[in-house]
Structure 1
Amino acid sequence: MYVSVIGGINTDFKGSSYEKLSLKTSNPGRIFYSSGGVARNVAHNLCKLEVPVNLFGAVGNDVFGEIILAELDNLKINTNFIKICDNRRTGVYLAILDEKKDMFVSISDMDIINEININYIKKHKDTLLQSKIVFLEANLEPQTIEYILKILENTNVYTVFNAVSNLKVKKLKNITGKIDYLTLNFSELKSLREQENLNFFDYKSIQKTFPEKFPNIFNLIVTNGEEGVLLLNNRFKRADFFSVAEVEDSEIVDANGAGDAFTAGFIYGIYKDADIEKSIEYGIKASQITLKSPKTVADELSSEIFG
């Protein structure tokens, strides 16, 4: 059994300022390049955790696409389902980090994601139905998300969905297909609920507002940096809080990629038939390893970190 990962595959460019950012001028710093994309990052993390992965997505018939495919092949990630497009270029993600290595602003050039449409999914439907877990994310178009969820609805395949951003998570408002696990950060949760005044630590009140509006989402896993992680279970109206050991600012190299690592660690737990609490602990450990790495996917990540 394997995990099928569907979504963005792109090239990441990240600029990190040495000092506090000054706007409308040049800032001394460091620029780093790597392969990226939420789906690609999650697949790469899962590969590091020795979970078999099929990756579904699209790249352009260009130099960035060639580099990405070569890297994936070296990682032994199955690339047979990736679409190579002659009429679109490989997606590009540009992020500017502040002096604390947190994202200040980013631009996502991801028009190629439109190639991952219903017709594309139909071609690979049987493979998805044979998965143990299907991961998908909010870079996909709503009709594609809905179609994937519908074909998996009455199966034993677990679905894990990642919100991606404050804007893209709003696609879930019109989605009715079953989502077993939604991973998102607290800012994305507030965007989804359109409630900027939410109190992260008043999680029992947050829990009460969700089941009626999103009955199709069974579990929400909400991360909020060093403040911890919330598990909101809509089916049993349960709310649990998980504390996170603080990582010193001096240890943090790059916060980008930590969210994808958390999701991969969580999926690892579900894949290994761990309970949801243990799976969240795996996600926390994976994200903290990634915070200390200059790479979007940490070289140090392996299943051995889980003990």
Structure 2
Amino acid sequence: MITPLANILCFGAAHFDRTVQCTEQYVPAASNPVRTLHRKPGGVGRNIAVHLRLLGNNVAMLGAVGDDGDGEHVIAALSQIGIDTRRITKFKDKHTAGYTAVLDETGELALGMMDAEVYDFLSVDLLADQLANLQAWPWWLIDANLPVETIAWLAENKGPSKFCAATVSPSKAARFAPVLDKIDLLITNRAEAKVLTGIDIKEIDQAKTAIAQLRDKGVTDAVITLGAQGVVSSHQDDCAFWQPLPTMVRDVNGAGDAFYSGFLSCFAKPGATMDDAMCQGLAMASLTAETQGTTVWDVTQEAVNLRAQHAYKKPL
């Protein structure tokens, strides 16, 4: 039996990701023969929630699915590992969201298609009657798949809950721009940070400048991930650069979401420091990059702690 260590409510995407690859030369605007490489649950909110739960946290998911088999599967898979799914709404006559990636014959992305219409129904009207229940969760992880109006309403009505923002993509990161002064924790990558700051981040010093701007806009704690280059963090007057951990890379897909899970799993606990959380986030990202797929199903806190010992911080 897993003992709950923190209480985190995750708002956002839970759907299916499908990847197919052309078996012959890709021809635009034509029928192309393909083979399916994988089809698996995905979505930023879902990915973060799953690792949070596997790390022993008390987790709930608030999202939207269609009244179809995919929706049933998404809910069942989350429930099976102990995530509270009572706040996932099933919308009649709607399809569960899904992302389809079409790779050409060389393995490069030829076309990406995202059907996310069902998330537009996560409206203020849907959530307003639940506000007291939502505020009972001390930590909110909110991904940018929610409508702009809903994000703004949640920011204004978070009460004592901590508002943690996951930017999802450059196109959706802008949904957090009007509420930066309400965000307690922002973890973003360089492309998404550019949308919020206007700074083209290529070097560590540029990341530091972008973080300073985010802090000036009201973000309490900010982290910018730079891929293989490392991570820059800011907490109070402390700004630091963190090197990536030694990793035998197999699949980097999902490593960013895993970083958020490891960080928040630690940060949400009483007495945790920013440095503790950074070490845990880097460890989860490293372990995930060594795993085929987006989830380390056999992750243990012991394994995370062991990997986290190799984290290195350089004050900026």
- TM-score interval for Structure 1 and Structure 2 normalised by the shorter chain: 0.7 to 0.9
Q: Say if 1:282 and 1:16 are closer, same or farther in 2 by CA, change over 3 A.
A: farther
- Give 3-state SS (helix, strand or coil) of 2:18's partner: strand
List aligned pairs for 1:55-94, cutoff 5 A. Answer: 55-94=61-100
1:272 equivalent among 269, 272, 284: 269
Partner of 2:314: none
Match of 1:10 among 5, 15, 27: 15
The answer as to whether partners of 1:203 and 1:239 remain within 8 angstroms in 2 is no
C-alpha contact (below 8 Å) 2:191/2:201 kept by paired residues: no
SS in 2 for 1:226: helix
1:262 counterpart = 2:264: no
Q: State whether residues 93 and 109 of structure 1, in contact with CA within 8 Å, keep that contact through their aligned partners in structure 2.
A: yes
1:96–1:224 Cα change, 3 Å: farther
SS in 2 for 1:255: coil
Say if 1:61 and 1:90, in contact at 8 Å, map to a contact too: yes
SS in 2 for 1:3: strand
Offset, 1:164: 0.3
- C-alpha distance in 1, partners of 2:80/2:93? 26
The 1:46/1:176 distance shift into structure 2, 3 A limit, reads closer
Corresponding position: 1:121 with 2:127: yes
Asked if 1:174 corresponds to 2:178, the answer is yes
* Residue of 220, 223, 227 corresponding to 1:221: 223
Matched residue type, 1:10: H
Unpaired runs of 5+ residues, structure 1, are: none
Amino acid at match of 2:268: Y
Structure 2: segments with no counterpart, 5+ residues: 1-5, 306-316
Residues 206 and 67 from structure 1, CA distance in 2 versus in 1: closer, same or farther, beyond 3 angstroms?
closer
SS at match of 2:87: coil
Q: Report how far residue 77 of structure 1 moved.
A: 0.9
Write out aligned runs for 1:1-307 (5 A).
2-15=7-20, 24=28, 31-95=37-101, 106-153=112-159, 155=160, 157-175=161-179, 178-196=182-200, 198-212=202-216, 214-215=217-218, 217-233=219-235, 236-248=236-248, 251-252=249-250, 254-273=251-270, 274-307=272-305
Identity of aligned residues (%): 23
1:191 is displaced (CA, Å) by: 2.6
CA contact (8 A) 1:41 1:257 kept: yes
**How far 1:17 moved relative to its partner?**
8.6
| Aligned 8 A contact 1:146 1:177 in 2 | no
Q: CA deviation at 1:295?
A: 2.3
Letter aligned with residue 205 of structure 1: T
User: 2: CA distance between counterparts of 1:100 and 1:13?
Assistant: 18
TM-score by length of 2: 0.84
Asked whether the equivalents of residues 69 and 79 of structure 1 are also in contact (C-alpha less than 8 Å), the reply is yes
Cα deviation digits, residues 174-202 of structure 1 (max 9, x gap):
22551111111112112322233653344
Q: 1:102 to 1:3 in 2, by over 3 A?
A: farther
User: Residue deviations 1:236-277, cap 9 Å, x none?
Assistant: 4542111112434xx32x222111111111110112231111
TM-score, with normalisation over the residues of structure 1?
0.86
1:185-236 CA-partner distances (Å, limit 9, x unpaired):
1121123222336533444433443344x22x11211111221111134xx4
